[in-house]
Structure 1
């Protein structure tokens, strides 16, 4: 687990944008010691195998010199195992579980934010991590829910049993996509209930907003920034 008193800034994964070349040059020009880690756009299983382009992303020569965290999206324990095994083969020891993607086709098939309501799958993931993947270090990125911002409660009870490095929370529902009100009262409750360090994600486009998050929520361990890095 990450130290709670060590504030971190992470680069968020964005499909089609945060590819190896972008990560390389962002790190060279802006990254340095300011960005703790870059996360890959989610790896997924397609037609019974891990997408080849996702594997190429992990093995790209442009990843050299920066800290990279592979992110995985899955709908069942079979997909979870396939993705974790591929991460091992590629030589990585960390993985981030995507429980926040709001894209309707993914949510409809039980991936991304759709996992939040699948408590049995989360229990399976907890057991499999303990029994089979002790050599990998996991984190998670989540929404507050699919339809309602209080759907996180049962999921968090299970996530608290998994030895996560940290948990990134975007305080919206999947239905909201990337606009609408941020449910900061619910975020504060997640922060208080989480057994893991909590990373804030959502609508950070100016540096001073990082200070505002730190001031309003002193227990936050860091921030994850996506679109703000492009602006």
Structure 2
């Protein structure tokens, strides 16, 4: 790996400066966390699998005209992405009741919702990513009304497509989290999909058994976490064959 300057490190990924202006290198870690960092651990090979899964899904979304920050995969753990101005929102699309929705509203987990529900959460770890309304978002300048229209429209298109894709491989897309950013090209700005799409930020259940194939297995100490991620990759047809060198991180410039 070449020497490169680290710009940011989150719970699951590291961002490095890219080889060209306006680009970044996104490195996927094996680190796992839950409860806003209250629980921490390592899921062996998760970074390799999430890199491949997210690449596959981003490319499929590109085929239907969804703009993303993804450029190309560099190796087993890294992607080249466009540098965007991240909008400080987590956009959660729910198709089936689970997680915090079930706890907040007392809806039995597994209840199919009458239509997809879109929720917004303010990205702030110190505040535990509180749920916010569109009024909060526009009042505090996190996004304008037009940005929100684009975000919701893109989110619903992404949900429609991914639901169909996962149904085709025997998986129910229960809910998932998206992040978006502003991509500036000269004086023009457009909203694009950022971050990743993987079992880290999607709830994925086997369509026949409702077996969980996502990070809930880690959150709830269910075991066989690595096997669940591998199962998703296998059904998508992208299970990689990693080497020892693929498991090593990049050399960081201090």
TM over 0.5: no
In our comparison, the structure showing a higher alpha carbon Rg is 2
- When normalised by structure 2's length, the TM-score is 0.22
- When normalised by structure 1's length, the TM-score is 0.23
More helix as a share of residues: 1
